[in-house]
Structure 1
Amino acid sequence: MELQTRHIEPASAPEIDHDSPQQPPQQAEPPEQHSTAHSHLKLICAGFSFFYAGTNDGTTGPLLPYMLERYSISTGLVTVIYVANFAGWFLSALTNTHLTTTLRHSLGATLLLGAGLQLVSQLLRFWNPPFGLFVVTFFFTSLGQAYQDSYSNTFVATVPGAHRWLGFIHAMYMLGCLTGPFLATPIASNSRWYYTYAVEAGLGVLNLAFVFAAFGRDILGSRKRRRAEARDAETQDAATQMTERTVTETGIAPSRNKQAFQEIQQTVKLRAVWLVSLFFFFFLGTVITASGWVVEYLVRVRGGSLKTMGYVSTGYNGGGFLGRLLLAEPTHRYGERRMVFLYAVTCLALQTMFWRIPNIIGDAVIFSFLGFFAGPFFPAGVSVATKLCPPANRNTALGLIFVLGQAGGSLFPTITGLVAAHAGVKVLQPILVGLFVLVCASWWIIPKVEKERDS
């Protein structure tokens, strides 16, 4: 999911030692050319992590009819996978600040944890597990995505030209969503549908290796710093040694717990955090509902073929990929608040057309344009949130914003499934029109920020 975390203090040097998203920059790596190349490797790694998350999320819609058939469940019961997704993001919000303080010397360790959790979930899926375990895998996937996406967003938001790189990594997510149906639909049509997750497991191995290659030095460096801290502690008095020994053995010092709770308390008092969260709540609820149920809608209501309708969702994802690449610069140049509101109104008009025009080909084209104009929503929202949140609270704020966004991404598809179980899938369209109205309204009430220019 886009979690993702979906983060802007322009850096004054090409390379920053991102030991912790909340710590000041350490010493730059020499030589400069190698440092710049390593910085680019980290950015590409962040992009691949979003691509991998997108391939996972992009398979859910095309595979949904097969899940219903395989487990003999209703559209209402299958929505528990969205609840499991939310549970993963919710746990990440509770633990994000503690990870930041406990692993304060290693951004890479947190990214590695996120990549590992996603790989575990795919390994549990591809052998046709029982429904209960299958649902649990969505929890592990979303928890891993939450850690990796949130901290990748934080890292990317600190580099020069951050708005372009945010556009890039979120475009990679849409590219993954575009790729997902091309993986899932032919595999499900010609073989066993759950073999799709074997391919996802292979991508998960690459994601894990990529993180270690790009951030491995951060991980190893953090271990050296922790050993140095332990040696320094040995020179202190007995009482201090006992405290430091507790830190070494448990990994969590009372002072760090206190710091974490203080950061959470400060963050929840920020009005801007709640207003941005409201936008992500409705936005993610809208797009996840649309992409998750569009195939079922086109098959049941418009009479499309299941083997071909799975590709329709690729139109939205392809449009989103181009939108995040091509609209990043005009959105930044003419103002994120103004342009995203214009895009949202356009999406509302397109969604109304999709509802009222009963033509599958026309629907596919409209769905593609819908993705194009909705594409900049997530990176622009991340950019605005980063500008509105104080640097000291940025990680905690973004974690809260993303979990509330995922709450919408879990709640509205679930409500749609429950209503569809009684009234039919035709209710999807009026629900989506109403959600786009709420997207427009929630973006409009976000506070204005001064336009920041890159140094």
Structure 2
Amino acid sequence: MNVPVFVLGWLAFRNLHSLPQQATDGLGSGSSLRDTLKSRAVWTLAIFLMLYVGAEESLGGWIVTYILEVRKGSAEGASWVASAFYLGLAIGRIALPTLNIFLGERRAVFVYILLAVALECLAWFLPFLASTAVCTALVGVAISTFYAAAITTGGKLIPRRMHADAFSLMSAVGQSGSAFWPLVVGIMSTKQGIWVVEPTVIALLGAQGVCWWLVPKVERRIE
């Protein structure tokens, strides 16, 4: 498997003899890191990603237990619902980027958040296994491009000299959500019941909407 990857890498970069050099205007890496830590765009996008990853992992990780205990489904049916959610993520990441370009990243994410919240409400309130399964799969489609949208928006808002520090921070904070929020859902479910999965995911989606609204609008990038 490594041979095709090596060949593709060689074909892609065979004409690149050196890395492109960016003018730093006398600013060192320390200055870049300080600017990154002070950047509103960086922290807003980082928190957005933490909420997004947390919602995705909480829903994908706990939906099987939810189906078994709340919807009284079979183990096989519960596994199919989880698989449908991740299939929705995969399909969305292939099919939606073109639509995102047409709508614009900012508008597209707002539309998808509203759609995902509506679907989660249906999955929560309709007491049917089939409706929960379909809505969960469609939520996967709706939220599938959030990570890419955040990175694309960050690339337009953040000066190039800060990209390495900014994207590292955003990724680190974002991925922390994959551990933190499922843990929170697990603790809540032991006290209140596994039904808390759906309202928690809805709350995380709503918080993502607030964060996305706080992200500065893309006008022009200051290098």
The TM-score range, normalised by the shorter chain, is: 0.7 to 0.9
Q: Is the 8 A contact 2:35 2:162 kept in 1?
A: yes
- Residue 348 of structure 1 pairs with residue 128 of structure 2: no
Report how far residue 446 of structure 1 moved: 0.7
Matches within 5 A, 1:122-141: none
Match of 1:272 in 2: 41
- Give the structure-1-normalised TM-score: 0.43
Match of 1:292 in 2: 61
Report how far residue 413 of structure 1 moved: 0.4
Report how far residue 282 of structure 1 moved: 1.0
- In 2 relative to 1, CA 335–451 (structure 1 residues): closer, same or farther, beyond 3 Å? farther
Structure 2 distance, partners of 1:426, 1:330, is 34
**1:209-248 Cα shifts (integer Å, max 9, x gaps):** 55444446999x99x99xxxxxxxxxxxxxxxxxxxxxxx
Larger radius of gyration: 1
- Residue 388 of structure 1 pairs with residue 157 of structure 2: yes
More displaced stretch, 400-409 vs 419-428: 419-428
Structure 1 distance, partners of 2:97, 2:12, is 30
- In 2 relative to 1, CA 451–375 (structure 1 residues): closer, same or farther, beyond 3 Å? farther
Match of 1:330 in 2: 99
Q: Is the 8 A contact 1:335 1:451 kept in 2?
A: no
Q: What one-letter code is carried by the residue in structure 1 that aligns with 2:161?
A: A
Q: What one-letter code is carried by the residue in structure 2 that aligns with 1:373?
A: A
Structure 2 distance, partners of 1:435, 1:259, is 37
Match of 2:186 in 1: 417
Structure 2 distance, partners of 1:410, 1:261, is 30
Structure 2 distance, partners of 1:433, 1:323, is 19
Match of 2:202 in 1: 433
Match of 2:32 in 1: 263
Structure 2 distance, partners of 1:394, 1:322, is 29
Q: Give the 3-state SS of the residue equivalent to 1:311 in structure 2.
A: helix
Q: What one-letter code is carried by the residue in structure 2 that aligns with 1:420?
A: S
Q: Give the 3-state SS of the residue equivalent to 2:137 in structure 1.
A: helix
Structure 2 distance, partners of 1:451, 1:214, is 34
Match of 1:445 in 2: 214
Match of 1:367 in 2: 136
2:83 to 314, 319, 327: 314
**May I ask how many residue pairs the two structures share in their alignment?**
213
Match of 1:405 in 2: 174
Q: Is the 8 A contact 1:275 1:446 kept in 2?
A: yes
Matches within 5 A, 1:13-24: none
**1:360-408 Cα shifts (integer Å, max 9, x gaps):** 1111111111112112212211110111111111122111111111122
Match of 1:357 in 2: 126
Q: Give the 3-state SS of the residue equivalent to 1:422 in structure 2.
A: helix
Matches within 5 A, 1:2-401: 206=1, 208-215=2-9, 259-401=28-170
**1:42-65 Cα shifts (integer Å, max 9, x gaps):** xxxxxxxxxxxxxxxxxxxxxxxx
Report how far residue 260 of structure 1 moved: 4.1
Q: What one-letter code is carried by the residue in structure 2 that aligns with 1:369?
A: L
Match of 1:25 in 2: none
Structure 1 distance, partners of 2:89, 2:139, is 8
Q: What one-letter code is carried by the residue in structure 2 that aligns with 1:438?
A: A
Q: What one-letter code is carried by the residue in structure 1 that aligns with 2:144?
A: G
Q: Is the 8 A contact 1:288 1:409 kept in 2?
A: yes
Q: Is the 8 A contact 2:64 2:79 kept in 1?
A: yes
Residue segments in structure 1 that go unaligned for 5+ positions in a row: 1-205, 226-257
Residue segments in structure 2 that go unaligned for 5+ positions in a row: 19-26
Q: Is the 8 A contact 2:156 2:220 kept in 1?
A: no
Structure 2 distance, partners of 1:330, 1:388, is 21
- In 2 relative to 1, CA 209–400 (structure 1 residues): closer, same or farther, beyond 3 Å? farther
- In 2 relative to 1, CA 265–212 (structure 1 residues): closer, same or farther, beyond 3 Å? farther
| Identity value in percent | 28
Q: What one-letter code is carried by the residue in structure 2 that aligns with 1:427?
A: V
**1:246-295 Cα shifts (integer Å, max 9, x gaps):** xxxxxxxxxxxx95444322311222101111211111111111101101
Q: Is the 8 A contact 1:344 1:436 kept in 2?
A: yes
Q: What one-letter code is carried by the residue in structure 2 that aligns with 1:326?
A: A
Q: Is the 8 A contact 2:49 2:174 kept in 1?
A: yes
